[in-house]
Structure 1
């Protein structure tokens, strides 16, 4: 206890030393992705001493303020407008909570990248339109400042000087919402080599024929999108939003994947949110129906990583280049190569229909990746790569030992070598870890017989640890579908058997150690509840293990369960006696008519209860035989629980001769009462001593008394001591026995 307190004080002292060092030197310098109620901006802050200044290009704004501790107080400035702000830095320095002086919130988080590097290309009509579309697509999510790029390529006309930055952002967003309802190929738009000064486009909505006229104009050496007037914008709204009820679709509607564009958008966006739900979102874009259930998740993620690498090499299609017609059912070929194709197609019917990358795409993703691996990643903005130990290892192998990438069937040489190494490593680590766990188990549940405990746990524990370590390491190999199925099938079965075996042994050890009275036991409980509870735990353990095996072997266990339900009536009829016994065990657990160690009498059976199981109860008789009583019969029978008596009534007859005088008899009666009263376990209110009969053999004096032996007292010894004391009393009184020897009954 003293060591624990001392350790706690040391930890507190270290924390008190380290925390001020962090809290006393907060830094606001860096780039922040900020949001407020109706907008946001990317803000660049620079701290010099206690002074902070910064800019946010989206609104031509700036920030000036002073730092006090973790709090930044100052003003925002946008032209002639300004106001107060108060920001509070989080403990880890990665985010802040703030508000305007009007009370509206303003929050932010650190982000990578230079806010000045906005990526604007206006060398031609195609480049200007691409910049606008990319900016709008980025601004759909958590980068509202990207709309600044869209503003930069828009020509607002003669009145541009009178429009505020907020109004420009609003107009740019309105125009993008209309452009986003159309489908067009950027390569069909003239590029930087055009000799025209203006290009007129008609962007058409897939499936409806509605169009959005768009004009691009050249000013100096730069190309701009001419901002349509209000009438043109209104006409575009009516035409393009008609199929969505006159309003823009929900920004999150793409996750339903009701069109090819939604599927592509859901796929690409998922990689930016991989750790916050993106992984599941990306998996939902794949048709994994041909993968076995046991490996579906792992192989699906591996296919996503392959597709990520492929897309970053072939170039990412813009969402507006993909049809968003919800009525279209024609598959979209994203990429085609002799090694395979990347295809998005509808899956399912009716409301359950959604667009997914086809099973063919998932199946050929690895071969496609290997085929395009030599192609450098495109310079354009690509998809973030999800974390992957496999790709890091493979990249290292590719750099240091290229021959190890040689394929042998479905595996590469390094995967074969790595697989063998992982097996050996799992065996070695499993042995070391199992030894450490064994020491804990022996101390916890095997102190009574350490050698027996080690024998009981050695193999199941070692097997469990080995297969757990193996399953933790093998994903780093990125094994293909067939190899993964073999690996998962074998190790899944062995792991389940080891866990069931270990769990069974552990349950028995816990019961023996903590729930069994006697030497080595620490706790005595209602053993009916204990035995039934731990018996049910064993059954649940086996059921869970068998279900896990079925999953790892991709067995249709749902069909098995359904079949059992259909045949359940026949099974129940055939096993009605067994089910009766199981339900009887439940009744005994609820009513608890006796406990382990109670002496019971039921029918022709009389003895001590030793164990209550799921099916039967074991009773030890007085002649040391063991009777097995089915729980179904026991729960319906009349049970006399002699072990629950509050006292045990005893009686004895004392025959004395007729030549005994009345004073001697009275002294005998009084003396016997005193002897009984001296017994601590006696119940005086139930003691009676009186002359009960005058027989031809003599006078009978009957003794009746109760003994409370619930505390475990030895009743036989108490009765023997009392009888000896009565004999001594008779000798002192000069009374000789008559007739039969006194007998206790």
Structure 2
């Protein structure tokens, strides 16, 4: 986190507390030049502000770079607040969550949890950058383990020390984590995570990497969907990108084999959001709480409910020509995808876990939420379709037909096809040859747009799309 303050003469002073650093510079247009200093050294920098003023790119004299995005007050408070640490599980949860956020170089995310780390096994004068580096090394080790962090609670409430053994799924590799209890500045008790020695971390990491042929998985390894954890992480990551930059990778996390290919992309977005809304209500689960054993064959059950379940299963996607090599990936099961809507409806009254929320709901879910607030009875189902959806379809028919007729009539007039020369037969031919098919094209086209965001159940959505597509094809051929 970087805090900047500009004076009237263009002078800028700032701090980046995580590294105990300061910067000072002068603004020239959209460029800021100056010097930086922290316990790790000093140097010069140049920052360039984006046209919208929301981001900047910086370059240091050392050849390194710095990018940032403007944050609002709520985001700043979230980053600055030291997480709860009333149990060892709370402390580990906060540490792993910070590490997950810091994967892509955002090391400032470790800032709030640094006070929860005990560096007693290292020199007292350890600089901030070195502390963050050790935190990242520890995270890389723990990221190879599978643990239910909330279960890390001492059996003796009076104890001041606690040791937890974290194991890697599918192997015997493990690491012992020590926690110590101390009094926090506000007088309450909190648990600190003792950072293991460099030797302990190196030994544990080497042991755990044997499952990956001794190599550290690359930053996008999870996109290969080799384990339940990979699939869950990719789903959550790609969901953030889907609205602005839809990718096949998001669709790939779900078994869409029961969905017709023609509507698979649209359905993936809808089913994916139903699934995301469900998981927001289940609560935040860290990737490290989900198995990442690439050799696992049994399905991973994430959540179960009478209305459906959230399950990730291995799926065969390719077989070599000689039949000797098979390619398997992990996907949310076809049954999970199929029941996502029913599961969401069953859990809808459950408040979303604030820790799990990363983005606001889509326009469809926002609209549905507003309808629910106005009159919940509009969400009742009639023939598998909610009342408000029936009303919307009815309104579409009542509006689209006269509007389409008006547009087709105006088009005919503009093209001088509707001649008022008294020849009734010619005018009738114009209606049959041009106006009527154009009306059908406009009605069917608007209907397809509506169905795309209306969120109808599959047994209604698919037949309706097919019917509208047939009408559009026939009317288009009629016009040709």
Tell me if TM exceeds 0.5: yes
TM-score by length of 1: 0.58
Residue in structure 2 matching 1:496, options 448, 459, 473? 473
Would the aligned equivalents of 1:272 and 1:278 in 2 still touch at CA under 8 Å? no
Whole-angstrom CA distance in 1 between matches of 2:433 and 2:29 = 60
1:97 deviates by 3.0
Q: Residues 367 and 459 from structure 1, CA distance in 2 versus in 1: closer, same or farther, beyond 3 angstroms?
A: same
Would the aligned equivalents of 2:85 and 2:91 in 1 still touch at CA under 8 Å? yes
Residue in structure 1 matching 2:308, options 325, 335, 340? 340
1:70 deviates by 1.5
Gaps of at least 5 residues in structure 2 are 184-188, 318-324, 418-425
Matched, 1:246 2:214: yes
1:160 deviates by 4.8
Residue equivalent to 2:61: 101
Q: How does 1:112-511 map to 2 (within 5 A)?
A: 112=72, 113-118=74-79, 119=81, 120-141=83-104, 143-157=106-120, 159-190=122-153, 194-220=157-183, 221-277=189-245, 280-348=248-316, 351-387=326-362, 389-438=363-412, 441=415, 456-502=433-479, 504=480
Deviates more, 1:248-257 or 1:79-88: 79-88
Q: Residues 96 and 345 from structure 1, CA distance in 2 versus in 1: closer, same or farther, beyond 3 angstroms?
A: same
1:470 deviates by 1.8
1:287 deviates by 0.9
Q: Residues 168 and 352 from structure 1, CA distance in 2 versus in 1: closer, same or farther, beyond 3 angstroms?
A: same
Q: Residues 276 and 76 from structure 1, CA distance in 2 versus in 1: closer, same or farther, beyond 3 angstroms?
A: farther
1:139 deviates by 1.3
In structure 1, the residue corresponding to 2:78 is in which secondary structure? coil
1:111 deviates by 4.1
In structure 1, the residue corresponding to 2:389 is in which secondary structure? helix
Whole-angstrom CA distance in 2 between matches of 1:322 and 1:80 = 37
Whole-angstrom CA distance in 2 between matches of 1:470 and 1:43 = 49
1:202 deviates by 1.4
1:332 deviates by 1.2
Would the aligned equivalents of 2:88 and 2:191 in 1 still touch at CA under 8 Å? yes
Whole-angstrom CA distance in 2 between matches of 1:494 and 1:101 = 65
1:453-494 CA-to-partner distances (Å, cap 9, x unmatched) read 777432232222222222222334211101101210100111
Whole-angstrom CA distance in 2 between matches of 1:334 and 1:104 = 41
Whole-angstrom CA distance in 1 between matches of 2:210 and 2:66 = 35
In structure 2, the residue corresponding to 1:114 is in which secondary structure? helix
Gaps of at least 5 residues in structure 1 are 1-41, 444-449, 505-745
Alignment: residue pair count: 456
1:385 deviates by 4.1
Q: Residues 479 and 81 from structure 1, CA distance in 2 versus in 1: closer, same or farther, beyond 3 angstroms?
A: same
1:647-687 CA-to-partner distances (Å, cap 9, x unmatched) read xxxxxxxxxxxxxxxxxxxxxxxxxxxxxxxxxxxxxxxxx
Q: Residues 114 and 299 from structure 1, CA distance in 2 versus in 1: closer, same or farther, beyond 3 angstroms?
A: closer
1:317 deviates by 1.6
Q: How does 1:658-697 map to 2 (within 5 A)?
A: none
Q: Residues 252 and 439 from structure 1, CA distance in 2 versus in 1: closer, same or farther, beyond 3 angstroms?
A: farther
Whole-angstrom CA distance in 2 between matches of 1:191 and 1:127 = 12
Whole-angstrom CA distance in 2 between matches of 1:81 and 1:324 = 40
Max Rg structure = 1
1:66 deviates by 2.2
Whole-angstrom CA distance in 1 between matches of 2:40 and 2:332 = 52
Would the aligned equivalents of 1:200 and 1:216 in 2 still touch at CA under 8 Å? yes
Whole-angstrom CA distance in 2 between matches of 1:432 and 1:314 = 49
Matched, 1:92 2:52: yes
TM-score by length of 2: 0.88
Whole-angstrom CA distance in 2 between matches of 1:367 and 1:153 = 42
Whole-angstrom CA distance in 2 between matches of 1:115 and 1:193 = 36
Residue in structure 1 matching 2:13, options 53, 56, 65? 53
Residue in structure 1 matching 2:28, options 50, 68, 75? 68
Q: Residues 161 and 84 from structure 1, CA distance in 2 versus in 1: closer, same or farther, beyond 3 angstroms?
A: same
1:51-89 CA-to-partner distances (Å, cap 9, x unmatched) read 323322331223222222212122222147322222222
Q: How does 1:622-661 map to 2 (within 5 A)?
A: none
Would the aligned equivalents of 2:16 and 2:22 in 1 still touch at CA under 8 Å? yes
Would the aligned equivalents of 1:182 and 1:204 in 2 still touch at CA under 8 Å? yes
Residue equivalent to 2:320: none
1:293-322 CA-to-partner distances (Å, cap 9, x unmatched) read 333222222211111111111112211111
Would the aligned equivalents of 1:442 and 1:454 in 2 still touch at CA under 8 Å? no
1:434 deviates by 3.3
In structure 2, the residue corresponding to 1:295 is in which secondary structure? helix
1:116 deviates by 4.5
